[in-house]
C-alpha cells in the first residue's frame, strides 16, 4: 500500500482545512458569516445549509476535522468545553444516573451540582482512578460514566479500558474528557470510550484566543442523536469565526503538543530535584503513583502539570509572584506558559491543596522556563 493512503495524524491535522472549495481556491478557508442560506426556486437548499444555528460551513469543516483527529464518525462543536459537557448531560433524561470522576474539572462538577442535580440527574462522584470505587458507584440506572484523564489539576489517571469495561457491563456509556492529553497523545476510542469531550479552548485552538468545545462519538446511536438535537435546538454553538480559529489551531496541533509535552517533562524533571519542592504531579515521572498505567494508555500528558511547595500556600503564592516568563493566568494550551494557584481560583470549596501551583507549559525555550523557575524558587523571602 502507498504510504500516503494512510496519512499520519500530523499530516491529517496539517491538512484539516480540506481542499479549497471557493471560487478563489483559497488555501485558508473563507469565514462564512451568513446566518441564513437561500432556497432554490424549487424550494430545495442545494447549498446544503439552511440556518447557521443548525449548521454552517465553518462549523461543519471544524466538526469534520474533530472526527478525523479522534479517528471516528462524527464530531459536534460547541461554544466552550463547558457547553459541550452541558449538552452531553442535557442529552440524558431527568432521573438518569451518572458516575462522574471526583476530580474532574472543577467547573464541570459545579455545573452538575448547581444545574443538573436540581434538573433531576442523579450524580455519584467516584474516585475513578480506583476501578473498584468506580465499580461500586455503578447502579442499575447508570447511563453514563464521565472520566477525565489525566485530570486537571491533580493529574490523576483513570484506566480507560477498565472504566469502559465496567461501564459497558452495567449498560452505561463511557465519556472521556481528553482535553489534557489531546488526540496527539491519547486515543480514548482505541481503549473503548464511547464519547470524547474536549475544551478546544486549550490545545486545539492553541492560542489563548478562542473559546470552544467538542463532543466526538465512536458511533451513531440514541445518545449521539440526542446530542445533535440538543445542539441544534439549544444552540450552544461556536460562531463561524471561533470555528475558523479552532480549525486553524488544529492544523498546527501535532507539533505544538509534542513540543509542549517534551518541555513540560523537562521542567517537571527539574522541579522534582529541587529542595523547595514537596511533590511534582506529572504522570510521566516514575514517582507518579500511576506512572505505569499512564505510559500504557498514552504517549504523554501534554503541557499541563502541577507541583507542591514545601513552604505551603504562602510560598506557592510567593513563587508565582516572582516568575517572569510564566504569566499568572488560568487556562492552558497556548504559546505562553502560565502559572496558577488553583486553590485561589477554585474558591472556598476547592479540593486542590493550597501549596499547589499548576503550570501550563507553552512554546518557549524550556531551558529559559527552568531558569525562570530556578530563580523564583531560590530567591529569599
Active site residues: 53, 105, 177, 202
Closest residue to ligand PLP: CB criterion: 81
User: Looking at beta carbons only, is 108 or 257 nearer to ligand PLP?
Assistant: 108
Q: How far is the CB of 2 from ligand PLP (least distance, A)?
A: 38
| Helix (H) or strand (E) run with residue 12 in it | helix 9-14
Question: Which residues, other chains included, contact 191 with Cβ-Cβ below 8 Å and sequence gap of 6+?
Answer: 160, 161, 164, 297
| Neighbouring-strand partners of residue 277 | 309
User: Looking at beta carbons only, is 180 or 293 nearer to ligand PLP?
Assistant: 180
Q: How far is the CB of 378 from ligand PLP (least distance, A)?
A: 31
| Helix (H) or strand (E) run with residue 176 in it | strand 173-177
User: Looking at beta carbons only, is 200 or 315 nearer to ligand PLP?
Assistant: 200
Report the DSSP pairing between strands 142-148 and 173-177: parallel
Q: How far is the CB of 180 from ligand PLP (least distance, A)?
A: 6
Q: What is the CA radius of gyration of the chain?
A: 21
User: What is the C-alpha to C-alpha distance for residues 351 and 100, in angstroms, rounded to an integer?
Assistant: 15
User: Looking at beta carbons only, is 82 or 290 nearer to ligand PLP?
Assistant: 82
User: What is the C-alpha to C-alpha distance for residues 244 and 30, in angstroms, rounded to an integer?
Assistant: 8
| Helix (H) or strand (E) run with residue 67 in it | helix 57-70
Q: How far is the CB of 27 from ligand PLP (least distance, A)?
A: 28
Cis bond before residue 369 (omega within 30° of 0): no
User: Looking at beta carbons only, is 250 or 370 nearer to ligand PLP?
Assistant: 250
Q: How far is the CB of 330 from ligand PLP (least distance, A)?
A: 7
Using CA atoms, how far residue 170 sits from 162, 224, 248, 296, in Å, is 13, 19, 40, 25
Residues that bind ligand PLP (CB under 6 A): 80-82, 105, 107-108, 148, 152, 177, 179-180, 199, 201, 211, 213
Amino acid at each position: 500500500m502507498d504510504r500516503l493512503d494512510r496519512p499520519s495524524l500530523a499530516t491529517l491535522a496539517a491538512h484539516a482545512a480540506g481542499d479549497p472549495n471557493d471560487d478563489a481556491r483559497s488555501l485558508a478557508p473563507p469565514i462564512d458569516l451568513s446566518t441564513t442560506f437561500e432556497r432554490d426556486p424549487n424550494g430545495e437548499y442545494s447549498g446544503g445549509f439552511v440556518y447557521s444555528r443548525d449548521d454552517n460551513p465553518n462549523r461543519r469543516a471544524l466538526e469534520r476535522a474533530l472526527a478525523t483527529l479522534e479517528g471516528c464518525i462524527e464530531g459536534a462543536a460547541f461554544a466552550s468545553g463547558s457547553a459541550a459537557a452541558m449538552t452531553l448531560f442535557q442529552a440524558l433524561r431527568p432521573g438518569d444516573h451518572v458516575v462522574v470522576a471526583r476530580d474532574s474539572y472543577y467547573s464541570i462538577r459545579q455545573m452538575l451540582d448547581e444545574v443538573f442535580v436540581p434538573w433531576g440527574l442523579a450524580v455519584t462522584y467516584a474516585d475513578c482512578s480506583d476501578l473498584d470505587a468506580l465499580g461500586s458507584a455503578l447502579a442499575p440506572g447508570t447511563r453514563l460514566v464521565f472520566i477525565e484523564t489525566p485530570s486537571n489539576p491533580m493529574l490523576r489517571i483513570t484506566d480507560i479500558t477498565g472504566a469502559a469495561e465496567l461501564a459497558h457491563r452495567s449498560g452505561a456509556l463511557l465519556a472521556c474528557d481528553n482535553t489534557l492529553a489531546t488526540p496527539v497523545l491519547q486515543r480514548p476510542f482505541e481503549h473503548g470510550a464511547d464519547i470524547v469531550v474536549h475544551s478546544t479552548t486549550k490545545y486545539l485552538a492553541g492560542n489563548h484566543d478562542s473559546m470552544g468545545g467538542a463532543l466526538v462519538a465512536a458511533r451513531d446511536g440514541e445518545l449521539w442523536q440526542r446530542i445533535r438535537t440538543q445542539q441544534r435546538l439549544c444552540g450552544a454553538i461556536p460562531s463561524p469565526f471561533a470555528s475558523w480559529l479552532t480549525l486553524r489551531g488544529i492544523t498546527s496541533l501535532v507539533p505544538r503538543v509534542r513540543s509542549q509535552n517534551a518541555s513540560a517533562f523537562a521542567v517537571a524533571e527539574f522541579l522534582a530535584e529541587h529542595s523547595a519542592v514537596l511533590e511534582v504531579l506529572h504522570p510521566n515521572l516514575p514517582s507518579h503513583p500511576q506512572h505505569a498505567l499512564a505510559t500504557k494508555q498514552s504517549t504523554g500528558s501534554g503541557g499541563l502539570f502541577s507541583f507542591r511547595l514545601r513552604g505551603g500556600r504562602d510560598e506557592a503564592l510567593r513563587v508565582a509572584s516572582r516568575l517572569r516568563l510564566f504569566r499568572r493566568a488560568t487556562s492552558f494550551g497556548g504559546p505562553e506558559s502560565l502559572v496558577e494557584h488553583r486553590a485561589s481560583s477554585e474558591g472556598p470549596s476547592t479540593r486542590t491543596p493550597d501549596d499547589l501551583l499548576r503550570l501550563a507549559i507553552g512554546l518557549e525555550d524550556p531551558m529559559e522556563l527552568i531558569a525562570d523557575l530556578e530563580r523564583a524558587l531560590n530567591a529569599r523571602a
